[in-house]
Amino acid sequence: MGYNNKTYAICDIVTDLSNVDFSQVSQSSGLTCRRSLDDTLFVIKYPTSVIPTFINNATIIPSEILNHQDVLALMATPEWSDPNPPI
């Protein structure tokens, strides 16, 4: 399954991370989620055709739902990628 068949949800670490059922997303745990540099947000991805139950029933309400192109643009921002990474 290609990246174009995935949906990306941006969620809050404090309120949402403990409510993710990792059997329904591509990540295996909170440790494998991409996090914002300030450690307040994380990303989960899942097949576009199957909305995880915890999102569908509003246990988690993502701040953004993105496609692959949009999540790549978000990950390139200073909030998600250090403009001066260590050498």
Tens digits of residue pLDDT in 29-81: 999 999 999 999 999 999 999 999 999 999 999 999 999 999 999 999 999 99
Give the pLDDT score at 20: 98
Note whether 17 and 58 are within 8 A (CB). Answer: no
CA atoms within 13 Å, Cβ hemisphere of 78:
2
Tens digits of residue pLDDT in 2-13: 668 999 999 999
